[in-house]
Amino acid sequence: MNYTIPQNSQVWVNVWAINHDPKIWKDPHAFKPERFLGSNVDFTGHDYEFLPFGGGRRMCPGLPSGVKSLQTLLALLVLEYDWSLPNDEDPAKLDMAEKFGVTLSKEKPLELIFKRRE
């Protein structure tokens, strides 16, 4: 693209901006994980449409451990507890607005009530 990048420069890729580009994604600001259903896009860093852990030889070395830990933790929480929103709120009306920072987080944190299953 005819850019000159000086030797020893640090290049930062704004993955948030890439993942929120309306030229690339339909309705990019909506949380729609189902947009990847039926596609061959993989989160392990080989498909550059989806880059939560980076890609190529510089991808996150903790990816396999993080994925396995998250799957196990999530399975245990789903199996052991019943979950609900405070004041019986409708899950379809959750505020999914984002707050940009070093990492992306929800503007209003998610609050859940859990009760251990008997």
Q: What does R_g of the chain's alpha carbons equal in angstroms?
A: 18
> In this structure, are 1 and 55 located in the same domain?
yes
Query: How many domains, the chain?
Result: 2
Cα gap 35→92, rounded to integer Å? 17
Report if residue 66 sits inside a domain. Answer: no
Cα gap 31→49, rounded to integer Å? 15
| Tokens coding 88 | 């019986």
Look-up: residue for tokens 């707050």? 99
For the beta carbon of residue 64, count every other beta carbon within 10 angstroms: 11
- List per-residue pLDDT tens for the chain, 118 residues long: 898 999 999 988 787 788 788 988 888 888 887 887 888 877 766 666 666 677 777 778 888 888 899 999 999 999 999 999 999 899 998 888 888 877 778 898 899 999 998 8
> In this structure, are 8 and 48 located in the same domain?
yes
Q: Determine the structural domain holding residue 104 and report its residue range.
A: 77-118
Residue 105 C-alpha from the chain's centroid: 9
pTM, full prediction: 0.44
